[in-house]
């Protein structure tokens, strides 16, 4: 994977005043670490969004600010899901000489014979694996080959992962990543079977889902 670089500026605005930055096409962010004071920064929304779209939880990102480079991991991204825009990003500064805990994403590939020949359904368990390693040794992801799922009930656990020797797994080795299970039987409902009220009309749907919380 190519190096991920973000250019930033130091930020003085804090609290609700950062909304002014967002109106200008910028986003507030912060870099924190055990050996530094939190550093508030400002990012260009378009450039940062493009760069961070390629970053995983274990991707190293270089942030250039004030003539200094900070090697960081993306720890939290706050997002406006209606507009599909970033609102705020937390970065953790890391030292290349100290091991850190990080979450590594799981990617499945291949074809399961249980799915192909037995109409099994793949049920995902863990989507991230917690590890301990030096920042430069963090895997971008763990790739899981599901071709080993040949029978109903077969599964792949954390202990089945191919782990580099310089990476320590912290997740429970017995936790399931993916399993092949039988299809859940669906109950077919005929329109004539829908219970009608006294006036012969279908029951009214009162609520379809929880309303989203107001944006900041």
Question: Each residue of 21-47: pLDDT tens digit?
Answer: 888 999 999 999 988 999 999 999 999
Same domain for 45 and 116, yes or no, is no
Chosen domain end from 75, 93, 111 = 93
Q: What is the count of structural domains for the chain?
A: 2
Q: Are 128 and 118 in contact (CB under 8 A)?
A: no
Per-residue pLDDT, 193 = 47
Q: Which residue has the higher pLDDT, 121 or 187?
A: 121
Check which CATH number belongs to the domain holding 165 and give it.
2.170.120.20
Same domain for 108 and 69, yes or no, is no
Per-residue pLDDT, 84 = 86
* Dihedral Cα 35, 40, 46, 47, nearest 10 deg: -40
DSSP secondary structure code for residue 148 in this structure: G
> Residue 76 sits in which domain range?
4-93
Burial of 25 (0-12, 13-18, 19+ CB in 10 A): exposed
For the cut 90, the answer to whether the pLDDT of residue 192 exceeds it is: no
Does some domain include residue 19? Answer: yes
Give residue-wise pLDDT tens across range 94-105: 999 999 999 999
Does some domain include residue 149? Answer: yes
Predicted confidence band of residue 9 (pLDDT cuts 50, 70, 90): very high
Does some domain include residue 28? Answer: yes
Structure tokens at 60: 């190293």
């Amino acid at each position: 994977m190519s190096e991920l670089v973000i250019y930033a500026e130091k930020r003085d605005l804090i609290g609700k005043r950062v909304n002014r930055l967002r109106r200008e096409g910028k986003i507030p962010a912060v870099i924190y670490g055990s050996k530094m004071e939190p550093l508030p920064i400002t990012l260009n929304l378009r450039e940062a969004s493009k760069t961070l779209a390629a970053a995983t939880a274990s991707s190293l990102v270089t942030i250039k600010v004030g003539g200094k480079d900070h090697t960081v991991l993306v720890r939290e991204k706050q997002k406006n899901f209606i507009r599909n825009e970033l609102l705020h990003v937390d970065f953790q500064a890391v030292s290349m000489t100290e091991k850190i805990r990080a979450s590594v994403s799981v990617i499945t590939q291949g074809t399961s014979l249980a799915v192909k020949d037995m109409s099994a359904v793949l049920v995902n368990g863990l989507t991230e694996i917690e590890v301990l390693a030096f920042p430069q040794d963090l895997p971008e992801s763990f790739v899981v080959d599901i071709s080993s799922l040949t029978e109903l009930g077969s599964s792949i656990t954390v202990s089945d992962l191919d782990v580099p020797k310089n990476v320590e797994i912290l997740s429970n080795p017995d936790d399931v990543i993916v399993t092949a299970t039988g299809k859940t039987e669906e109950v077919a409902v005929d329109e004539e079977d829908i219970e009608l009220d006294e006036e012969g009309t279908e029951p009214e749907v009162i609520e379809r889902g929880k309303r989203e919380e107001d944006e900041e």
